[in-house]
Amino acid sequence: MSARNDQPAFSPFRLRLPKPPPWLVVAFVAIVVLSWLPLSLIWLARASTSGRPRIHIFHDMGHQPRYGPQTAAEVFADGAALRVPPVGTVARGMLDDDDHYWRGWHRAADPGTGRTQIVFFDSLPARVPLTMELLRRGRQRFDIFCAPCHGLDGHGGGPVDARALETQESRWVRAASLHTDLVRGRPDGHIFNTITSGIRNMPSYAQQIPPDDRWAIVAYVRALQLSQNAPLRFIPAEKLPAQP
How confident is the prediction for the chain on average, in pLDDT?
A: 85
- The answer to whether the beta carbons of residues 102 and 177 sit under 8 Å apart is no
Rounded CA separation 136/145 (Å):
14
**Is residue 186 classed as helix, strand or coil in its secondary structure?**
coil
Rounded CA separation 189/106 (Å):
10
Domain ranges of the chain: 132-230
Residue scoring higher pLDDT (51 or 23): 23
Q: Return the CATH architecture of domain 132-230.
A: Orthogonal Bundle (1.10)
pLDDT of 203 strictly over 70? yes
By DSSP bridging, strand 105-109 and strand 116-120 are antiparallel
pTM over 0.85: no
Give the other-Cβ count within 10 Å of 104's Cβ.
28
**Segment (H or E) for 189:** helix 188-197
- The answer to whether the beta carbons of residues 190 and 120 sit under 8 Å apart is yes
**Is residue 120 classed as helix, strand or coil in its secondary structure?**
strand
Percent of the chain with pLDDT over 90: 37
Long-range Cβ contact pairs of 1-5 (< 8 A, separation 24 or more): none
Of residues 168, 214, 171, the one with CA closest to residue 191: 214
Rounded CA separation 193/103 (Å):
6
Confidence of residue 128 (pLDDT cuts 50, 70, 90): very high
- Rg of the chain over CA atoms, in angstroms? 39
Q: Report the amino acid identity of residue 2.
A: S
54-74: per-residue pLDDT in tens?
777 777 776 677 888 888 988
155-179: per-residue pLDDT in tens?
988 898 888 888 887 788 888 899 9
Q: Span 148-156, mean pLDDT?
A: 91
Rounded CA separation 125/9 (Å):
105
- The answer to whether the beta carbons of residues 54 and 45 sit under 8 Å apart is no
Rounded CA separation 68/71 (Å):
6
Q: How far is CA 149 from CA 123, 156, 196, 220, in A?
A: 25, 6, 17, 16
